Amino acid sequence: MSEDTMQQRRKAKRGRAQQHEAAPATNEARAIPAAVAPLRLSARLLPQEVRVDLAWAAAVLGLTCLAFLLLRFVPGVALPVLLSLGLAWALDPLVDLFEARGWSRTLAIVALGGVLGVAIGAALAFLVPALIDQATRLPGYLQALAGRALPLAEELLGEPLPADWHQLATEFSGRASAVAAKIGPAAGRLLLQAAGGTATAVSQILGLALVPLFLFYFLRDFDEMKGRATALLPPRHRAQIVGRFREIDEVLAAFVRGQATVAAILGAIYAAGLTLAGVKLGLVIGLVAGIASLVPFAGVAIGAVLAAVAVLVDWHEGSLWVAAGAAATFAVGQALEGSVITPRVVGEKVGLPAVVVMLAVLAFGELLGFAGLLLAVPLAALLKVVLRVLVARYRASDWYVAAAPVPGEEKAAAGDFSP
């Protein structure tokens, strides 16, 4: 066999080997589209706008969890900073209003801070002396309460109570001063426990003292901070993401304005009603109940307890009418809040069912203490916006639309499960 023939055979073998090696690669190349088909299918089922909304929702939930962790583990630092940011967000429209009228931003902040300081100082100058006066009279109130509670109960029941009860009431009346002296320390211990201990309470107090300073700098640089945060967003998705954050901004702004207005209206109703009913310190009790209404369900509870104590301490022949007037005041206030004030002032944009509000207050209060009570409804409203966007995207998806039955089939399916 010649050498040329041998070289031709070697070339043929090498060619067949190369074809054999290339065959699996070709099969793999053909299999790749089948492997990535689910990814292409998911990309088709999840358009770009939907993925942006999902990323936005994940970012909002992540920031919320981060705020929870900071408030949970470093409340002395996180609480004043987050509180200052919240106040800066709430007051920024007012500063912008002054700035639009030709004021410098710094001067507008100083003027607004002066007005708020005078208003808070006037409120404290009115409320604090009245509360101190009532605290100094607490032993006498306790003695009067112990001496009048049992006769009142006997009068209402129409029969005498056991002698042991009168003996206990006499002993309690004699020890009223000692009991009053122990109430202050006990309340202090409860507050320290709620704050997380003495060191945490001291750090929180020092941090809250810095809130005005933080607030000044946050307000001064608020527009710049918003601009920098917006510049970090991807340009092609910026409009959509900013629109979603604007929805949250509108809901939270409506809540803050609405809740402050509702608290002011309820405070006026409680103060006027209790004063007209003849409750001692009805004006102070009504204003305190109105301020406490910023926390859901706290205003009516605190106001009812304070009014009941005031009526019992000052019990006389016509006190039944006073008690009825106080009860009617809180009943009318709650009825107006639920049916007229909150729907008209806050509106449906923030409206949350009462059971959702109760669950939010209990859950966030358990997790974050007093800060959780203040943040419960705003965070619930924020999560409502996120859930509304996700539900709207789900209802517009192929999964939901394709699974929707024809109206006739829906009735037939409903009939199959009817009893």
Interval 279-318: pLDDT, tens: 877 888 888 888 888 777 778 888 888 888 778 777 677 7
The Cα 124–Cα 136 span in angstroms is: 18
Residue 139: which region, alpha, beta or left (left: phi > 0; alpha: psi -120 to 50)?
alpha
CA distances from 299 to 85, 138, 303, 314 (A): 26, 22, 6, 22
For the ranges 8-12, 259-263, 318-322, 410-414, the lowest mean pLDDT is seen at 410-414
- Three-state DSSP state, 279: coil
The Cα 385–Cα 349 span in angstroms is: 9
Global pTM value? 0.64
Domain for residue 118, yes or no?
Answer: yes
Alpha-carbon torsion (101, 106, 111, 116), positive or negative: positive
Query: Is it the case that residue 51 has pLDDT exceeding 50?
Result: yes
The Cα 71–Cα 372 span in angstroms is: 9
Query: Is it the case that residue 141 has pLDDT exceeding 60?
Result: yes
Domain for residue 63, yes or no?
Answer: yes
Place of tokens 């009279």: 137
Per-residue DSSP letters for 2-44? -HHHHHHHHHHHHHHHHHHHHHHHHHHHHHHHHHHHHHHHHHH
Give mean pLDDT, residues 362-384: 78
Domain for residue 364, yes or no?
Answer: no
Please count the structural domains in the chain. 1
Nearest by Cα to 145 from 113, 169, 175, 124? 169
- Three-state DSSP state, 313: helix
CA distances from 158 to 104, 235, 365 (A): 72, 79, 44
- The pLDDT score that the predictor gives to residue 319 is 75
Residue 209: which pLDDT band, with cuts at 50, 70 and 90?
A: confident
Structure-token pair, residue 39? 């990814």
Residue 11: which pLDDT band, with cuts at 50, 70 and 90?
A: low
Domain for residue 333, yes or no?
Answer: no
Domain for residue 60, yes or no?
Answer: yes
* Rounded (10°) CA dihedral 348, 352, 355, 359: -170
The Cα 338–Cα 240 span in angstroms is: 35
Amino acid in position 53: D
Domain of residue 205 covers: 49-232
Q: What proportion of the chain, given as a percentage, has pLDDT over 70?
A: 64
Amino acid in position 168: L
Domain for residue 414, yes or no?
Answer: no
Give mean pLDDT, residues 240-262: 83
Give mean pLDDT, residues 27-38: 41
For the ranges 69-73, 167-171, 199-203, 317-321, the lowest mean pLDDT is seen at 199-203
Domain for residue 79, yes or no?
Answer: yes
Nearest by Cα to 211 from 82, 84, 114, 85? 84
Domain for residue 310, yes or no?
Answer: no
